[in-house]
Chains A and B, each alone.
Chain A
Amino acid sequence: MTDTRNIAVTVNGARHDVEVETRLTLADCLRHQIGLTGTHVGCEHGVCGACTVLVDGQAVRSCLMLAVQADGAVVATVEGMADENGQLHPLQQAFHDNHGLQCGFCTPGILMTLLEFLQHNPSPTETEVREALSGNLCRCTGYQGIVSAALDAAGRLRQERNQIDGTNRS
């Protein structure tokens, strides 16, 4: 009974044409067919958030999406966060500087959640950060390093934005 489809999905700026079973989840498609294993699978029922990616700019649980649903979509995963020279995104750098990861398994999902969150809320309070993170589970860190990293990153991103604005103005 298995259907298959040909889909085209753009991941981190690169177009991928893949043939997938229609029941294949987006998480499995990214990890096993496209070969981007940075996105992880922790529960497959939409609670732990390890599988979070951006689809058309929105943070979603890729274990709860079918790959076919991403046909024509623009997907961003952790592998696309650093720039083409390998320079870390301020979020990634902040996680390193604030001991925001231990085993690293939940980390890509958290980074993607924060990417969207900080876009909509560039000056969050600690409470707002903790609420935004409540859909991502971590067993290692107790969240403190993650929260520090998020707040630190927010500051760095604001600074970057100000610099760009300043440059644009001048």
Chain B
Amino acid sequence: MTDRLYEARYGRLEDLALLTGKGRYVDDIHLPGMLEVAFVRSPHGHALFHSINAAAALALPGVHAVYTHVDVAQTLTSDHIPPDQVVDSFPTTTWPYILPKDEVCFVGEAVAVVVADTRYIAEDAAPLVEVDYESLPVVSNCRKATDPESPTVHRHAADNIVSRFTTEYGDVEPAFVEAAHIFGFSLKQHRGGAHSIEGRGVVANYDADSHHLTIWTSTQSPHKSRDAAVELFDMDESRVRVIVPDVGGGFGGKNTVYPEEILTNMASRLLARPVKWIEDRREHFLASIQERDQEWDVEVAVDTEARVQGVRGTMYHDQGAYTLLGLHVPHNSSIAVPGPYHIPNYRIEVLVAETNKVGTIPVRGAGYPEGNFTIERVLDRIARELGMDRAEVRRRNLIPGDAIPYQMPMKTREGTPMIYESGDFLRCHEMALEAAGYTDFAQRQKEALTEGRYIGIGVANMVKVTGRGPFESATVRVGRSGRVVIYTSAMAMGQGTKTTLAQICAEQLAIAPDQITVVTVDTASSPIGIGAYGSRNTVNAGNSVHLAAGEVREKAIRVAAHVFGVDEQDIEITDGLARVKDDPANSLTFKEIAKALGAAKGLAIPKDMPIGFEATVNFRPPDVTYCNASHVVEVEVSAETGGVEILRYVVVNDSGVLINPTLVEGQLQGGIAHGIGNALYEWMGYDENSQPVITNFAEYLLPSSTTVPNFEIIHVETPSTLNPLGVKGAGEAGVIPVAGAVVSAVENALGPFGVWIDQAPIAPVRIIELIEESKASR
């Protein structure tokens, strides 16, 4: 077995089951006696209610129970979702209710849960539950929400500002006083929802005899699900088990504990029967987290050479009615603005405002796309005002390669230094421009214009925090069967986690990856873990596997050396054997070693050797890693319809060492497609009553196969210095700079009209409006 398993485009271990319809997603789970759940959801953006009458619903044959806040208060230790990460300091009005007591704060907020024989019957019953709503004033815009005269999202709150903070470094005021030029503008950004094709879902099974609660949930953070259940049901970890089935995508939408999950668990607990809830698409539109809106007012100070001296401004962030998972998105957006650029002085004041909409937590990119869009618009504005080439402006402002490792003047949200430890942003930028034929583009653009065609090119650069710790666990264990099994807290939702981890392990143990079984989260086998988000799986779990497999390898060598009476350096591991180099007939299989380390009679093991052919490692990244990328996109814009076609998309991406380049490319392609959605298509609209006006896939436009091109991806692999594998992350890398690049390209295409685009997404109707406005002003 000599094939290298890193940098190897190994075929996915996950595929066979999924391709043959043998995947097991949460809705595929059927348990005897299982009941199904539907929710009674508020039709109002903000309302009081005094009573819930479930009599008619309960009278329907097949309905087993209707639960409200009363039942929650009686059964659980709290009527709120336990807070997660730094929200303890926020008012409790920001914590989601499991079921609200008397006030609903967004359309779709669940006020009651119906449990019935089938989902069909539960949906028949839900409208029969009478809730006497009394409308309250509604807040639908995050900027207006900060107005002292604004009604409040929660009736007892003093105002709508969850948090007000400033991200800053250097000294911004003198930079503006001394600037050669100052440019200012506003931006409206919108990122919509997660929309994995599989929605959320839970099957809960409370066994009344053993008092065990088993939860299958389509989630990105199973340990949080377990911990929430432990806390709310006052049980201990020996009695609560969370098993994650196959997950049909997450993208952030499944990265928190929702009321629906707790209520499904509760229903099972109270009825002592398995209970299932499967989110339908309308529920995902209404009640799954989103990122939605940010409004930016920003100014930049530049010197005579187009070098940025300072950036300052204000950002209004739409947090929705509840804060389920801290304020990562607005924090990240404000930190992300400088990105790979040298911004010597910086201050953004952020107002995190509540609105009567579903809560905001990270969707793929976690606020970085918004920060990136802002700086890319700033640089484009500089180029426009100074009559300079946009790539040149970027060239002058990118942190040069010889400055890396580069300590950002800014700190992370945990208060630790931000250090770009490796990478060469300028080089990636140049490579991308070269690959895209940027220097020839002006000529091609001119020729197209003579044919009446408007083509444009845009470039954007990004840096993204990846590999955030504290850890993901890995146990590499060989049992009596001789089979290598990895038990890991890493979460899989399509990234090919099992294949990647198997490759890493296989490299150490000199066997083929398909000889390895990877067990992802079952809290019984992986009791501690964090979750799949923030492009962190390979850095955390990958290195844990690498180190654990290395320890297992060492054990094999020690046992074999002991058994055959040779030095350890005379033992090699190859083809699933530990054998003497000069005397290969003397070999032990992994099966034999497992038996030995399990203390079988007849095989002696050194007294100082621990029992078990296994090792557990929780690798702790010393710091976050940073991946970076440069994107160049060519578009054609119809000045007649406003339609945008993406002609060509070139990416230079540095995610460090790539264990499996094919899987990384898949992540990048998916991320870029999502970014194209954010640039041109995805809009989760609400009216002034905070009523969602977009509630289905015919109106919410996910990118489809005809809206995206093939992506030309060039890998640069600058190993990370922060972990043994040298890996960085890639999961979100594709999405971050897309809106900036695409909008820049659209604007460039419409150069003859001189339009300036201050929003993302940009739709054809708006493009035509901008063209008309510019014609009118001439």
Q: Note whether A and B contact each other (Cβ less than 8 A).
A: yes
Which residue from chain A places its CB closest to the CB of B194 in the assembled complex?
A139
A68: B residues at CB distance < 8 A: none
Whole-angstrom distance from the CB of B122 to the nearest CB of chain A?
Answer: 13
Does A50 belong to the interface (CB within 8 Å)?
yes
**A42 and B705 contact, CB distance less than 8 A:** no
**A143 and B19 contact, CB distance less than 8 A:** no
Whole-angstrom distance from the CB of A156 to the nearest CB of chain B?
Answer: 15
**A42 and B19 contact, CB distance less than 8 A:** no
Q: List 23 A-B contacts (CB under 8 A).
A: A37-B24, A37-B25, A38-B23, A42-B248, A45-B696, A45-B698, A48-B197, A48-B281, A48-B697, A92-B20, A96-B15, A99-B12, A99-B663, A99-B665, A102-B666, A104-B17, A105-B249, A107-B18, A108-B21, A134-B706, A140-B249, A141-B673, A144-B710
Which residue from chain A places its CB closest to the CB of B248 in the assembled complex?
A105
Partner of B21, one of A37, A96, A147: A37
Whole-angstrom distance from the CB of B218 to the nearest CB of chain A?
Answer: 10
Whole-angstrom distance from the CB of B710 to the nearest CB of chain A?
Answer: 5
Does A36 belong to the interface (CB within 8 Å)?
yes
Q: Which of B138-146, B489-497, B603-611 contacts A (4 or more CB under 8 A)?
A: B489-497
Bound form: Cα–Cα A166–B309 in Å: 73
Interface of B is mostly: loop
Which residue from chain B places its CB closest to the CB of A103 in the assembled complex?
B494
**B666 and A96 contact, CB distance less than 8 A:** no
B17: A residues at CB distance < 8 A: 104
Chain A CB within 10 Å — which of B21, B671, B702 has the most? B21
**A88 and B670 contact, CB distance less than 8 A:** no
**B12 and A79 contact, CB distance less than 8 A:** no
B14: A residues at CB distance < 8 A: 104
Q: Mark B702-727, 1 if CB is under 8 A from A, else 0.
A: 11111010110000000000000000
Does B196 belong to the interface (CB within 8 Å)?
yes
Whole-angstrom distance from the CB of A111 to the nearest CB of chain B?
Answer: 7
A-B pairs with beta carbons under 8 A, tally: 171
Whole-angstrom distance from the CB of A78 to the nearest CB of chain B?
Answer: 4
Does A62 belong to the interface (CB within 8 Å)?
no
**B196 and A103 contact, CB distance less than 8 A:** yes
Does A97 belong to the interface (CB within 8 Å)?
yes
Does B28 belong to the interface (CB within 8 Å)?
yes
Which residue from chain A places its CB closest to the CB of B9 in the assembled complex?
A99
Q: Mark A26-56, 1 if CB is under 8 A from B, else 0.
A: 0000011001111111111101101000000
Query: A50-B197, A111-B19 given as contacts; is B706 within 8 A of A131 (CB)?
Result: yes
Which residue from chain B places its CB closest to the CB of A95 in the assembled complex?
B19
Q: Mark A114-148, 1 if CB is under 8 A from B, else 0.
A: 00000000000000011101101111111111110
Does A164 belong to the interface (CB within 8 Å)?
no
**B20 and A38 contact, CB distance less than 8 A:** yes
Which residue from chain B places its CB closest to the CB of A135 in the assembled complex?
B704
Within 8 A of A (CB), among B1-57: 11-12, 14-25, 27-28, 30
Does A21 belong to the interface (CB within 8 Å)?
yes
Query: A134-B704, A142-B669 given as contacts; is B662 within 8 A of A40 (CB)?
Result: no
**A103 and B198 contact, CB distance less than 8 A:** yes
A40: B residues at CB distance < 8 A: 25, 27, 197-198, 248
Interface of A is mostly: loop
**A139 and B702 contact, CB distance less than 8 A:** yes
A88: B residues at CB distance < 8 A: 16, 19-20
Does A81 belong to the interface (CB within 8 Å)?
yes
Bound form: Cα–Cα A48–B703 in Å: 11
Interface size of B in residues (CB-CB distance below 8 Å): 56
Where the two chains meet, the residues of B that have a C-beta atom closer than 8 Å to any C-beta of A are 11-12, 14-25, 27-28, 30, 120, 195-199, 246-249, 251, 280-281, 493-496, 662-663, 665-666, 669-674, 696-698, 702-706, 708, 710-711, 734
B671: A residues at CB distance < 8 A: 142
A147: B residues at CB distance < 8 A: 705, 710
**A140 and B494 contact, CB distance less than 8 A:** yes
**B666 and A141 contact, CB distance less than 8 A:** yes
Bound form: Cα–Cα A104–B195 in Å: 15
B15: A residues at CB distance < 8 A: 95-96, 101, 104
Does A24 belong to the interface (CB within 8 Å)?
yes
Whole-angstrom distance from the CB of A65 to the nearest CB of chain B?
Answer: 16
Whole-angstrom distance from the CB of A113 to the nearest CB of chain B?
Answer: 11
B697: A residues at CB distance < 8 A: 43, 45, 47-48, 137
B12: A residues at CB distance < 8 A: 96, 99
Partner of B281, one of A42, A81, A144: A42
Which residue from chain A places its CB closest to the CB of B673 in the assembled complex?
A142
Bound form: Cα–Cα A67–B777 in Å: 59
**B11 and A145 contact, CB distance less than 8 A:** no
Bound form: Cα–Cα A108–B197 in Å: 12
Q: Mark A66-94, 1 if CB is under 8 A from B, else 0.
A: 00000000000111011000001000100
Does A59 belong to the interface (CB within 8 Å)?
no
**A139 and B21 contact, CB distance less than 8 A:** no
Does A158 belong to the interface (CB within 8 Å)?
no
Which residue from chain B places its CB closest to the CB of A105 in the assembled complex?
B248
Closest 10 CB pairs of A and B: A38-B21, A103-B494, A105-B248, A104-B18, A142-B673, A142-B669, A102-B494, A47-B697, A37-B28, A78-B21
